Structure 1
Amino acid sequence: MEIRPQAVVIPKETDHLEQGKYGPIFPKTPACYGFTIIAKVKPGRADTIRNYGNTLAKALEADPQFLAPLKLHYLRWVLFDDDTRFMYQGIFDTDFDKYTEDAIALFTQAGLNTAFENLEGFPEDWKTNPEAFITFVREHHCPSFIEYGEYPYFTADEIKKALKIKSSLSEMLDQLQ
């Protein structure tokens, strides 16, 4: 099986896209699904966001599967413009609606807040009002216009499975020597 890198151009207009519960469902791309938001940081809250990053890292140290329900490939958080703006970029295997619902459920069950609470305009009732959470994300979403995948359309689970097989095969070959 040959794996060929691919790119897909995403249209600027989304009126023709299938509508989900919370708006247009952007197509799956070679990089899977994802979104990027850029929002203003509440004054004086940049360090709180950085500290929240530490909290999330510690939660993953304690339970490496903590974020597994989100089917993530990557997350990237960036503070910029002298810590006045924040960018969140996530790449995952489910569509936007499912990812958002799963994220709200996960953080609510874990009793954790979100770094987004430190952003201007983020709804305080996000745990009980998914529509407000989604409205905030949609209003701050900066859609891609092209997405590329070196290993197109593979899910995080498929990649982990392939790496596990590779590791097992390497271990088996090492034992034969």
Structure 2
Amino acid sequence: MTHSDPAIEVQIQNHKQPISQQPDGPGKRIGKRGEIVVIGHVLPGGGDLFRQRIGRFQEEAGYWESRIGTVHHFTVHLFDDDTRIMISAIYDGDFLVYLDDVIQQAGPWFDSLMPGVWEGYGSASDPETAKLIHDQAHTADAFYAAYPDYSAKDIARMEKVFTAVNTILDAAS
């Protein structure tokens, strides 16, 4: 599609992001960022278990995601009248490295939510769970990443610098 205004077309071309397939699994990649969406089936009664556990899971998100250290975005949704579950993430790096980091660094967190909810989920340390995630993963049809060349660690570092500079400027005024 082209626009009647050539200036808009130039701006669109200037904002294009090179997008590729993850080199080691499902998901797209822009710069340092990858995306993945996993859609699975919920066990009978799993929706009730999910709602019982999700509050604590949410409270612990900052701790467990900081252990992984590469996550920009993470969501979990039940849908279709509690018959399906969707997990989506935007993260730094390759798919298999991210999957291994989730299992190694945040396995207990997922084990506090998913057993009895997600059909086929045993435990994070079970090799069948990694296969389940891989088999139920979907690549986005469209993917956009703001600041794709900055990792989660880069952003955390910039936040510290920003806070320090503001503290200095506040003290000087």
Task: Please indicate the TM-score interval, normalised by the length of the shorter structure.
Answer: 0.7 to 0.9
Listed one character per residue, the Cα deviations across residues 40-93 of structure 1 (whole Å, up to 9, x for unaligned) are 111111132233322223335xxx443223221111111111121111001111
CA distance in 2, matches of 1:126, 1:56: 15
**1:14 paired residue number:** none
**2:51 match:** 50
Q: 2:99 maps to which residue?
A: 100
User: Residue 35 of structure 2 contacts residue 90 of structure 2 at CA under 8 Å; is this kept in 1?
Assistant: yes
Structure with greater Cα Rg: 2
CA spacing shift, 1:125–1:160, aligned 2, 3 Å: closer
Judged with a 3 Å threshold, the aligned counterparts in structure 2 of structure 1 residues 48 and 103 are, in CA distance, closer, same or farther, namely: same
Residue in structure 2 matched with residue 73 of structure 1 by the alignment: 72
Output the TM-score relative to the length of structure 1.
0.74
Matched residue of 2:60: which SS? helix
The AA in structure 2 aligned to 1:166 is F
Same amino acid, percent of matched pairs:
21
Tell me how far 1:103 sits from its aligned partner.
1.9
Distance 2:167 2:103 in 1: 39
How many aligned positions are there? Answer: 158
Measure how far apart 1:6 and its partner are.
4.5
Task: Kindly indicate which of the two structures has a greater share of residues assigned to helix.
Answer: 2
Counterpart residue number, 2:165:
169
Question: Which ranges in structure 1 are unaligned for 5 or more consecutive residues?
Answer: 12-16
Letter of the 1:32 counterpart: R
So what's the TM-score if we normalise by structure 2? 0.76
Flag the structure with more relative contact order, 1 or 2, with Cα contacts below 8 A and sequence separation at least 6.
Answer: 1
